[in-house]
Amino acid sequence: MKPHNKKLMQAMVERKITLLDYECLEHDDRQRMIGFGFFAGIVGAHNGMMAYGNRTGEFSLDRVYKQRDYRELIHTYFGLKLPNIKIAVTGSGRVAHGILEVMNLMDVQEVDADEFLEKEFAYPVYVHLKGKDLYKHKNKHTYHRDDFHLYPEQYNCTFNQFNNVADVLMNGIYWEKRIAPLFTWEELAAPDFRIQSIADITDDEGGSVPCNLGDATIEDPVYGVDKLTRDKTEPYTERSIDIMAVGNLPNELPRDASRYFGEQLIKYVLNDLFTGGSTVTERATILKDGKLTNAFSYLTHYAG
């Protein structure tokens, strides 16, 4: 909940409104039912590649929002010739699925991690890195998904082995403050740090990508960060790394994102709403007749 929404929350309490958070609609295993992540991944991957093309001058991509819809966007990739770049893709959720969709449409070939680390290629390639590829327990040197989500502070991040072999990073991983970043500022400043463009699609300021200095905008989605001073700069300068970090990426494909969201809502939730609700909708209900539910009691200072 953002501070600027406090007055809105208080107005809903006063009017005894029932408020349900679509983002909190989850299956029993806590996987989200509805979200715009797939289209965030598509737009973010496109913009990340656009940034790399702008920096190197080796190819050019137009803006997503200039296309009528996703189908039209796909056709812009058919004649695209990419250089022999290496792209690291992180994550396993909807965002990552959107990134992989664009990689495949752009005819970027998937290779495994060992090949990516050891070889150069005569064509563009990507490696898909999930949790087990990115984190290892500090003592046991293993990865167990449930344990990692319970105790992420007990895990080291191993992404630094890709710092000097990848040209582009497409970041789609979940992050919270206890999780180690993908790399450090000190690693970023090293002479052999090869990554030039980062699409931080999950967009956590100072998070898994420490040089994310905050949101850019759809109109101007890329900024630079000076690797030594850590200051925000213009993009595409000699000493900077380019960061694409936009919080509302699906707005560049509004027709497709809205239609997908509506169809998911109809498929999973609409019947429950008409028949009196379910445990799924109950878990996502913030206010019931103007009163905070137990699960959201931590918002008392916003509602009071």
Residue-wise pLDDT for 212-247, tens only, equals 999 999 999 999 999 999 999 999 999 999 999 999
Q: How confident is the model at residue 1 (pLDDT cuts 50, 70, 90)?
A: low
The mean per-residue pLDDT over the stretch 78-105 comes to 96
Please tell me whether the overall predicted TM-score, pTM, comes out greater than 0.75 for this model.
yes
Q: Which residues pair with 168 in a beta bridge?
A: 87, 197
Distances (CA, A) of 275 to 19, 69, 269, 278: 17, 35, 10, 8
Query: 239-272 as b/e, with b when 16 or more CB fall inside 10 Å?
Result: ebbbbbbbeebbbbbeebbeebbeebeeeebeee
26-40, 102-116, 145-159, 190-204, range with the lowest pLDDT: 26-40
State the chain's mean pLDDT as an integer.
Answer: 94
What is the Cα 183 distance to its own chain's centre? 16
Strands 109-110 and 125-129: parallel
Class of domain 37-254 as given by CATH: alpha beta
**Whole-number Å distance between alpha carbons of 182 and 200:** 11
The structure tokens listed for 90 are: 């992180």
pLDDT number for residue 279: 87
3-state SS class at 204: coil
What are the residue boundaries of the structural domains of the chain, listed by start?
3-34+266-303, 37-254
What sign has the CA pseudo-torsion 35, 225, 217, 256? negative
